[in-house]
A and B are shown apart, each in its own frame.
Chain A
Amino acid sequence: MFKTFKLGGVHPAENKLSEDKPIQVLPIPKIASIPFSQHLGAPAKVLVARGDVVKAGQLIAKGEAFISANIHSSVSGKVQKIDNIVDTSGFRRPAVVIAVDGDEWEESIDRSPELKTEITLGQKEIIQKINDMGVVGLGGATFPSHVKLMVPEGKKAEVLIINGVECEPYLTSDHRLMLEKGEEMLVGVQILKIALGVNKAIIGIENNKPDAIKHLSDLAQKHEGIEVQGLKVKYPQGAEKQLIKALINREVPSGKLPIEVGAVVNNAGTAFAVYEAVQKNKPLMERVVTLTGKSVKDPGNFMVRIGTPISELIEAAGGLPEDTGKVIGGGPMMGKALNSLEVPVVKGTSGILIMPEKESQREKVLHCIRCSKCVSVCPMGLEPYLLEKLVMFEDWDRTQSEKVMDCIECGSCHYTCPANRPLLDYIRLGKNKVGQIMRSRAGK
């Protein structure tokens, strides 16, 4: 039986164009630009200067704040400059720009391909290792993984949930990773279980990836306490709270973290990164990226070094199509539109989607006809039409009391609105303003 969450949800066309394409290793770029801030939280503090020579895997920026993450060089070469570059955020932000020279790695990294199943480290060392290797969540939010693994005082983790849902249309990187690196991933899951002190893990996979479900179910036979669960195809099945609801039928209360109901959610890719970090001593310096789009000649999945400009990725997939209208970092539902093709791949880049001009055009915005479709698709049970209006009229008190902060920005409302209202745009703005107001009130 395929499980699912109850409230809301939509089913956009899946368009998984690259699901049968094995992961290819993309050539190392000539120049890599590695931003300091590739994670949620404080930017890392830079350790290198212009002219320094670095090796692949060398620590180049240190996450010093509690919520922050280390940054490693993904290539070997010379630091050309430390300057502002346009990154996936759409802004010019500081990054280390490295002119690549050869491919010399740190000696401590184990580059051998064989599977290492035996886990030697204890809970504390594992978390330290994950911290050292700069692992962050690869499911989208890039939340530093070591922080997530430190269960707060008074709370108890009961179950680890591995998010292999990949509910975004087009994207296939997790899918391919689960098929090709399934064994490593399961070792990663075991490591995460030790780190959290739980003895049960559930891997949730949407039912449009039957091969991955089968593959991992077979492999999981060999592992204790790992269960694979198929899920109904419904967006946003992969959103943390919805996934928890679907898998263990618990609801994370408003404004609370999953640990409140004893769950911790990690992405499948994160599990693989944890395996590499702990067993192979390898920092998070490359990741799987899907390059896709309807007019792209050769959509595919690529293993890409962090810092590679997306233009090189696009070349590898057959070049930029003529009719390109929009280039999106991530999937079509939650991804960010990029404003330059020189943006580097960062830890959180799960895919690059190239949308044709025709499809990328937003339709004319009409008045809300109160069809209540947005209300019925919202997985959080909010009233997007109302939030939009309240934000437009700057009624922040009511925006807050109507629970704007619960919005997970899944975009279902925006997707479904027959009047093409830019609902999520305004809701995001509202979250921002209300967040500011709440913080300044808390500060007082």
Chain B
Amino acid sequence: MNDVMIFAIASLGGIGIAASVILYFVAQKFKVVEDPRIDEVEESLPAANCGGCGYAGCRAFAEALVKQGDDKSNLDGLNCPVGGNDVMATVASILSLEVEEQDPLIAVVRCNGSHANSPKKVMYEGATSCAFAHNLFSGEGGCSFGCLGLGDCVKSCDFDAIHMNSETGLPEVNDKCVACGACVEACPRDIIELRPKGKKDRRIFVSCVNKEKGGPAKKNCDVACIGCGKCVKVCPFDAITMENNLAYIDPIKCRLCRKCVPECPTEAIHELNFPIPKVKKEPVAVSQPKVQDVKSIKEESPAEAVKEPKSAPAEKPEKPQEKPEDKTNETN
């Protein structure tokens, strides 16, 4: 070994030792404690930073999770909509807690005032912003509750899950939706609701938020809920309530029996992803023409398709014919 090698080892080794010793003592002296689990939890979160959990980003949520885990030893009320149950289970295991399974939710657009159903009475010009238009006037179709069609919800979605259908002028949600709730927040008219996805993606809901009395409501929109109360009466599970002339189906109580659907005189109640009832001869079922005519126009996803029951009003079956179909629907 020559000099250079000896110097090299001595000096480099010396620096190595010096650095580690100094660092060690500095670290000891200036120690700051921070719960290491916060990092762990944060790592398990999807890092979408969408705020769907109600906190300012994933880090903040991780802190909240760790804190609540320590204080209350449960994670009730905290949920990451993007990651869903899997992520929450991981988080719980990091904090050695248990979590309850939460039904996955999905955004549902509760307005069917398409161009066909609620024709334009005036023409709007100006900022492409529902929020602005909502402050300006009742809407092109005259309904002061319905969709303005300017797409604030679409802009708010980080997941590419909600899009405008240019034919109807209404937004449609697809299955990329993670129920972050951004669109619910964005809609100035509170049209969008997060509802349980339902078994096999099946959902029944009132596709209208108009609180006016039947007459004026119907004047502006063919498919408005007119508050007639028929669905309330027919529901065997007390799932439907009537407030301010508007029916609302409680998704927890609703058992998807579909009795209310044909009952509605304006077809304001929508069902999604139910099989087409087997019909013998006549085109009688309520849901049949919906699915058919839209399928012919639009692509695969039935979830999107069913939202447009009246785009071809000519094919609409007469009301009386629906009555005998009750049983068929039920047995399906």
Identity of the chain A residue whose Cβ is nearest the Cβ of B135 in the assembled complex: A432
- Which residues, 383 to 405 on A, are CB-close (under 8 Å) to B? none
- Which residues, 75 to 102 on A, are CB-close (under 8 Å) to B? 84, 86, 89-92
Residues A362 and B125 in contact, CB atoms below 8 Å apart: yes
Query: Bound state CA distance, A148 and B194, in angstroms?
Result: 46
Q: Does A294 contact B (CB under 8 A)?
A: no
Query: Bound state CA distance, A232 and B136, in angstroms?
Result: 32
| Min CB–CB distance A310 → chain B (angstroms) | 15
Q: Does A428 contact B (CB under 8 A)?
A: yes
| Min CB–CB distance B286 → chain A (angstroms) | 30
Residues B126 and A91 in contact, CB atoms below 8 Å apart: no
Residues A428 and B132 in contact, CB atoms below 8 Å apart: yes
CB-based A-B contact count at 8 angstroms: 42
Q: Does B241 contact A (CB under 8 A)?
A: no
Question: B126 to chain A: which residues have CB within 8 Å?
Answer: 362, 422, 425
| Min CB–CB distance A84 → chain B (angstroms) | 7
Query: Bound state CA distance, A429 and B212, in angstroms?
Result: 26
- Give the contacting residue for A429; candidates B121, B129, B138, B216; CB below 8 A: B129
| Min CB–CB distance A324 → chain B (angstroms) | 12
Question: B137 to chain A: which residues have CB within 8 Å?
Answer: 89-91, 337, 339
- Give the contacting residue for B216; candidates A84, A89, A361, A422; CB below 8 A: A84
Q: Does A45 contact B (CB under 8 A)?
A: no
Question: B4 to chain A: which residues have CB within 8 Å?
Answer: none
Query: Bound state CA distance, A360 and B265, in angstroms?
Result: 40
Question: A361 to chain B: which residues have CB within 8 Å?
Answer: 125
Q: Does B144 contact A (CB under 8 A)?
A: yes
Q: Does B314 contact A (CB under 8 A)?
A: no
Size category, A interface: 10 to 19
- Give the contacting residue for B138; candidates A91, A337, A425; CB below 8 A: A91
Q: Does B122 contact A (CB under 8 A)?
A: yes
| Min CB–CB distance A340 → chain B (angstroms) | 8
Can you name 13 extra interface pairs (CB under 8 A) apart from A91-B144, A422-B126, A428-B135? A84-B216, A90-B136, A90-B137, A91-B137, A339-B142, A361-B125, A362-B125, A425-B127, A425-B132, A428-B132, A429-B131, A432-B131, A432-B135
Q: Does A433 contact B (CB under 8 A)?
A: yes
Size category, B interface: 10 to 19
Query: Bound state CA distance, A377 and B95, in angstroms?
Result: 59
| Min CB–CB distance B132 → chain A (angstroms) | 4
Question: A84 to chain B: which residues have CB within 8 Å?
Answer: 212, 216
- Which residues, 124 to 154 on B, are CB-close (under 8 Å) to A? 125-127, 129, 131-132, 135-138, 142, 144
Known contacts A90-B138, A428-B132; is-contact A422 B212 (Cβ 8 Å): no
Query: Bound state CA distance, A429 and B131, in angstroms?
Result: 7
Query: Bound state CA distance, A90 and B138, in angstroms?
Result: 6
Query: Bound state CA distance, A362 and B127, in angstroms?
Result: 11
Query: Bound state CA distance, A343 and B159, in angstroms?
Result: 43
Query: Bound state CA distance, A249 and B306, in angstroms?
Result: 65
| Min CB–CB distance A421 → chain B (angstroms) | 9
- Give the contacting residue for A92; candidates B129, B131, B216; CB below 8 A: B216
Query: Bound state CA distance, A354 and B125, in angstroms?
Result: 17
Query: Bound state CA distance, A382 and B153, in angstroms?
Result: 29
Identity of the chain A residue whose Cβ is nearest the Cβ of B143 in the assembled complex: A92
Identity of the chain A residue whose Cβ is nearest the Cβ of B215 in the assembled complex: A83
Query: Bound state CA distance, A433 and B127, in angstroms?
Result: 15
Known contacts A84-B216, A425-B132; is-contact A92 B127 (Cβ 8 Å): no
Sort A-B residue pairs by CB-CB distance and give the 8 closest, nearest first. Answer: A90-B137, A425-B127, A429-B132, A339-B122, A422-B127, A362-B125, A425-B126, A91-B138
Question: B129 to chain A: which residues have CB within 8 Å?
Answer: 425-426, 429
- Which residues, 91 to 144 on B, are CB-close (under 8 Å) to A? 121-122, 125-127, 129, 131-132, 135-138, 142, 144
Question: A426 to chain B: which residues have CB within 8 Å?
Answer: 127, 129, 132
Question: B135 to chain A: which residues have CB within 8 Å?
Answer: 428-429, 432
Question: B138 to chain A: which residues have CB within 8 Å?
Answer: 86, 90-92, 339
Question: B125 to chain A: which residues have CB within 8 Å?
Answer: 361-362
Residues B144 and A92 in contact, CB atoms below 8 Å apart: yes
Query: Bound state CA distance, A361 and B123, in angstroms?
Result: 11
Identity of the chain B residue whose Cβ is nearest the Cβ of A360 in the assembled complex: B125
Query: Bound state CA distance, A362 and B125, in angstroms?
Result: 7
* 0 or 1 for each of A429-442: is its CB under 8 Å from B? (1 = yes): 10011000000000
Question: B136 to chain A: which residues have CB within 8 Å?
Answer: 90
Query: Bound state CA distance, A120 and B237, in angstroms?
Result: 71
Query: Bound state CA distance, A426 and B122, in angstroms?
Result: 21
Known contacts A86-B138, A90-B136, A90-B137; is-contact A429 B127 (Cβ 8 Å): yes
| Min CB–CB distance B221 → chain A (angstroms) | 13
* 0 or 1 for each of B148-173: is its CB under 8 Å from A? (1 = yes): 00000000000000000000000000
Question: A89 to chain B: which residues have CB within 8 Å?
Answer: 137
Identity of the chain B residue whose Cβ is nearest the Cβ of A423 in the assembled complex: B127
| Min CB–CB distance B6 → chain A (angstroms) | 62
Question: B121 to chain A: which residues have CB within 8 Å?
Answer: 339
| Min CB–CB distance A443 → chain B (angstroms) | 18
Query: Bound state CA distance, A362 and B317, in angstroms?
Result: 42
What would be 29 A-B contacts, judged by CB atoms less than 8 Å apart?
Answer: A84-B216, A86-B138, A89-B137, A90-B136, A90-B138, A91-B138, A91-B144, A92-B138, A92-B144, A92-B216, A337-B137, A339-B121, A339-B122, A339-B137, A339-B138, A339-B142, A361-B125, A362-B125, A422-B126, A422-B127, A425-B129, A426-B129, A426-B132, A428-B132, A428-B135, A429-B131, A429-B132, A432-B131, A432-B135
| Min CB–CB distance B217 → chain A (angstroms) | 11
* 0 or 1 for each of A353-382: is its CB under 8 Å from B? (1 = yes): 000000001100000000000000000000
Query: Bound state CA distance, A339 and B135, in angstroms?
Result: 13
User: Which of B127, B129, B138, B212 has most chain A Cβ within 10 Å?
Assistant: B127
| Min CB–CB distance B220 → chain A (angstroms) | 9
Question: A90 to chain B: which residues have CB within 8 Å?
Answer: 136-138
| Min CB–CB distance B203 → chain A (angstroms) | 30
Query: Bound state CA distance, A422 and B216, in angstroms?
Result: 32
Query: Bound state CA distance, A86 and B212, in angstroms?
Result: 13
Query: Bound state CA distance, A339 and B133, in angstroms?
Result: 13
Query: Bound state CA distance, A417 and B132, in angstroms?
Result: 20
Identity of the chain B residue whose Cβ is nearest the Cβ of A414 in the assembled complex: B126
| Min CB–CB distance A141 → chain B (angstroms) | 16
Identity of the chain B residue whose Cβ is nearest the Cβ of A425 in the assembled complex: B127
| Min CB–CB distance B151 → chain A (angstroms) | 13
Identity of the chain B residue whose Cβ is nearest the Cβ of A325 in the assembled complex: B123
Question: A92 to chain B: which residues have CB within 8 Å?
Answer: 138, 144, 212, 216
Question: A91 to chain B: which residues have CB within 8 Å?
Answer: 137-138, 144
Query: Bound state CA distance, A163 and B297, in angstroms?
Result: 60
